[in-house]
């Protein structure tokens, strides 16, 4: 089986012309140092030597900041440094994240020629009011235009979204998800908005002008949105922010952060499926079979789904069944 690896290189707040109300990337990424080309070489070689033998696909991934807003000389230095790894086949492509209002046909042609295969745009929302209140500095049209340019160039488009932004609602977030699908994204990420130290949002929160989603609200919304993306065939690369010492410490002021956020969302999706199921057997003990890769999520984070079922049944047992796929499951009487 082909294994995929990213080699992440973080460029915190580089070239961002606007300070979004939620953004303090030093706290979010745990990254303060801006990597040099020497650093890049060290990072890549270290990762390459750590990967397991076997068939694999490897991407160099520039995250954070605004890659296409960097001085062109700096962009070229990073990309030129990557050329020997591309030429030797040690890496198969380059992924970068950037802003929707820093994309042009000319830029994308140059990036493609240098081995860039994936571009992720921090869309966050496609609602103009939410974008304005979040200090994004661009509108919905900029996201749609940039998405079209990337797709026309034949690159893989990723559109990231954030739930719980100022002025946001579940209805608006679902519209953002619909736009992400309609504009041709193949990949996406779902992040809950957090109140982080030293941000505009911290000031708004302390003045009671902003209220973040609760953890349960964020899990509920992310579960609904993930299911929508899954149904449309989009690849959800991540749900929730990476755990870091800063977010587990003093950097987090408020908001729905949890190091196991994604696991809680997947568990919620299974619970929603169980709640909608109409054919539970009339028996005191049941056996639920599901695909091996879904077994833990079916049981639920801290066995919450099993506990929900135990309100109705005396005994509930889960078992992996390799003949099942996705969220297929079978329920039958448990023979003791």
Residue 31 confidence (pLDDT) above 70: no
DSSP class of 241: P
pLDDT of amino acid 50: 94
Residue with the larger pLDDT of the pair 273 and 10: 273
Of 29-33, 88-92, 106-110, 176-180, give the lowest mean pLDDT range. 29-33
Across residues 190-216, what is the average pLDDT? 95
Helices (H) and strands (E) in the chain, counts: 12, 12
pLDDT of amino acid 30: 45
Q: How confident is the model at residue 1 (pLDDT cuts 50, 70, 90)?
A: low
CA torsion, ordered 325, 328, 333, 336, to nearest 10 deg: 40
- Span 228-249, pLDDT tens digits: 999 999 999 999 988 776 677 7
Residue 29 confidence (pLDDT) above 60: no
Residue 17 confidence (pLDDT) above 70: no
Across residues 29-56, what is the average pLDDT? 85
Residue 336 confidence (pLDDT) above 70: yes
Rounded distance between C-alpha atoms, residue 100 and residue 157, angstroms: 11
Across residues 123-149, what is the average pLDDT? 95
CATH 3.20.20.70 in the chain, residue ranges: 3-259
Contacts of 87 (CB under 8 A, 6+ apart): none
Share of the chain above pLDDT 90, in %: 82
Residue with the larger pLDDT of the pair 205 and 23: 205
C-alpha to C-alpha distances, 67 to 1, 49, 55, 110, 221, nearest whole angstrom:
32, 26, 30, 13, 30
Across residues 281-291, what is the average pLDDT? 96
Of 27-36, 135-144, 295-304, give the lowest mean pLDDT range. 27-36
Residue with the larger pLDDT of the pair 231 and 69: 231
Residue 27 confidence (pLDDT) above 70: no
Across residues 242-270, what is the average pLDDT? 89
pLDDT of amino acid 11: 84
Q: DSSP of 36-79, one letter per residue? A: -HHHHHHHHHHHHHHSPSSSEEEEEEEESS-GGGS-HHHHHHHH
Q: How confident is the model at residue 320 (pLDDT cuts 50, 70, 90)?
A: very high
pLDDT of amino acid 23: 79
Across residues 296-319, what is the average pLDDT? 97
Residue with the larger pLDDT of the pair 2 and 224: 224
Cα angle 234-167-223, degrees, rounded to a multiple of 5: 35
Instruction: State whether residue 200 is helix, strand or coil.
Output: helix
Instruction: Give the phi and the psi of residue 282 in degrees, each rounded to 5.
Output: -85, 85
CATH 3.30.465.10 is the classification of domain 3-259: no
pLDDT of amino acid 246: 67
Cα angle 82-156-11, degrees, rounded to a multiple of 5: 45
Take residue 332 and report the two structure tokens written for it. 């039958």
pLDDT of amino acid 34: 81
Neighbours of 41 (CB within 10 A): 15
Most confident of the ranges 15-29, 163-177, 248-262:
163-177
Instruction: State whether residue 60 is helix, strand or coil.
Output: strand
Across residues 65-73, what is the average pLDDT? 87
Q: DSSP of 75-106, one letter per residue? A: HHHHHHHHHHHHHHTS--EEEEEE-GGG--HH
């Amino acid at each position: 089986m082909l294994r995929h690896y990213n080699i992440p290189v973080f460029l915190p707040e580089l070239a961002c012309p606007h300070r979004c109300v939620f953004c303090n990337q030093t706290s979010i990424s745990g990254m303060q140092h801006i990597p040099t080309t020497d650093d890049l070489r060290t990072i890549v070689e270290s990762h390459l030597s750590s990967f397991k033998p076997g068939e694999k696909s490897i991407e160099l991934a520039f995250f954070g900041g605004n890659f296409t807003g960097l001085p062109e000389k700096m962009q070229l230095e990073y990309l030129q440094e990557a050329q020997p790894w591309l030429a030797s086949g040690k890496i198969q492509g380059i992924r970068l994240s950037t802003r929707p209002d820093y994309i042009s046909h000319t830029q994308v042609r140059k990036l493609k020629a240098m081995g860039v295969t994936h571009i992720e745009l921090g869309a966050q929302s496609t609602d103009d009011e939410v974008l304005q209140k979040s200090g994004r500095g661009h509108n919905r049209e900029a996201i749609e235009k940039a998405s079209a340019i990337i797709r026309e160039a034949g690159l893989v488009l990723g559109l990231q979204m954030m739930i719980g932004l100022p002025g946001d609602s579940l209805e608006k977030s679902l519209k953002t998800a619909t736009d992400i699908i309609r504009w041709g994204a193949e990949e996406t990420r779902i992040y809950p908005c957090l109140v982080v130290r030293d941000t505009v949002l911290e000031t708004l929160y302390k003045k009671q002008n902003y209220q973040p989603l609760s953890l349960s609200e964020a899990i509920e919304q992310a579960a609904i949105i993930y299911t929508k993306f899954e149904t449309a065939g989009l690849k959800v690369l991540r749900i929730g922010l990476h755990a870091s010492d800063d977010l587990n410490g003093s950097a987090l002021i408020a908001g729905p952060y949890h190091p196991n956020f994604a696991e809680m969302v997947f568990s919620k999706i299974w619970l929603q499926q169980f709640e909608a199921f109409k054919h539970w057997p009339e028996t005191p003990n049941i056996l639920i079979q599901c695909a091996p890769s879904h077994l833990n999520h079916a049981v639920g984070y801290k066995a919450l789904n099993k506990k929900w079922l135990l309100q109705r049944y005396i005994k509930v047992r889960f078992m992996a069944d390799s003949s099942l796929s996705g969220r297929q499951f079978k329920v039958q009487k448990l023979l003791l």
